[in-house]
Amino acid sequence: NLYAWGDDANGELGQGKTVSKSTEPLKVAAPQGITFTNVATGPSSQHVHALGSDGKFYSWGLNSYVQLGHGYDVNMPYYDPNPVKMNLIPDGITFTQISTGEFFSLALGSDNNLYSWGNGFQGQSGNNVGLSNAPSKVFMPSGVTVTRFVAGYDFSLAVGSDGNLYSWGNNVWGQLGRATSGTTYRTPTKVDAPAGISLIQPQAGANHSSAIGSDGNLYSWGKNDLAQLGRDSNGKPDQHPGKITLFPGGVGIPKLVQFGTAEGTSLTKNNDGTWTVTTPPYSPGPVTVTIDWELNGVAQTPDTSNIYRYTSISVLPRAGGTGILLLLAIGLIIIATTIAARRLRQARSLNQ
């Protein structure tokens, strides 16, 4: 069961009715027979999206900018405390991941395209739409799909299949990571990453951004009035992604990588500080990636936060080899992530 507590002024606790607040966890009033996973809330947590056990997305809470994705009519309530199924998803598309901004949301479709709905007046929708009551496709560059994404307050970040980080929306504090700040961008454009570095795991705050680089270092940019960039810029905003160098401890070292129950092979450190590992044969579908690692020679809790999806050999380009070579970036303290370098090898599955 999903539980919620705190402010409920706009039905964000999902009780089927509003209560002023709750200091105790309350069970969300899920539809009968449905349980929730993959929950996303906005920066102010005034609306919520969650994946149901039936594979459908549900939403509830504040709906002032039709951010719940339930459609729109003149009788549409300002808020909805009932978890309601989103029925306006494009035909043939299911959503696999979701991220919620202040008055808008992003979701990754089963077609690997990114969709947005709700408030887009600051360009955060990524498709030149000011207000959308139903999911519409984000205008990524031609041929580029999305592998990771996150919604900020009124801006968005996404990692493309080409390995580049893209951003769009409000840029008044340089949170988009462009050469100049203050300009609103209404469609995705590349972040100005440091030379030779790919920004592969982004996060977005209210007015600042951060991302793990392919070198294993953490980078930040945007507003810094409360020292949220984690580096010395005299409290001033910085639109350029800069390395955070003030972490204690050392760099994590991966020791073993498993895909489901099968062990990856050829774990190798690269000159830029990243690691590569070759995937083992496996049946098509998602598997949990388990990374055993050490920090300063001491074994740490295995990282199981990543999912890798095996694709049938029939739909992959032929590039030689028997496995996909994954790039593994180990964060400064505990963070690990994997991205597929499909240009190097071809996947082999047990079920072709």
Predicted local confidence at residue 336, as pLDDT:
34
Name 100's bridge partners.
Answer: 105
The domains of the chain are located at 3-243, 253-340
Predicted local confidence at residue 181, as pLDDT:
79
Q: Under a CB-based contact definition with an 8 Å cutoff, are residues 86 and 56 in contact? A: yes
**Of 212, 206, 176, 174, nearest in space to 191 by CA:** 176
Name 84's bridge partners.
Answer: 59
> Span 3-243: which CATH code?
2.130.10.30
In the block, which residue shows the tokens 């095996």? 310
Cα–Cα–Cα angle for 13, 19, 22, nearest 5°?
Answer: 65
Q: What is the pTM of this model?
A: 0.73
Predicted local confidence at residue 164, as pLDDT:
96
Q: Going residue by residue through the chain (352 aa), what tens digit of pLDDT does each one get? A: 999 999 988 889 998 877 889 999 999 999 999 999 889 987 776 899 999 998 888 999 888 888 988 877 645 667 787 888 888 888 889 898 999 999 999 999 999 999 999 999 999 999 999 999 889 999 999 999 999 999 999 999 999 999 999 999 999 999 999 988 778 899 999 999 999 999 999 999 999 999 999 887 899 999 999 999 998 767 889 999 999 876 666 667 889 999 889 898 888 887 656 778 888 887 778 888 898 988 777 888 888 888 777 665 444 333 333 455 555 544 332 233 333 333 233 333 333 2
Q: DSSP letter string over 25-53?
A: EEE--PPTT--EEEEEE-TT--EEEEEET
Predicted local confidence at residue 348, as pLDDT:
34
**Of 297, 275, 251, nearest in space to 266 by CA:** 275
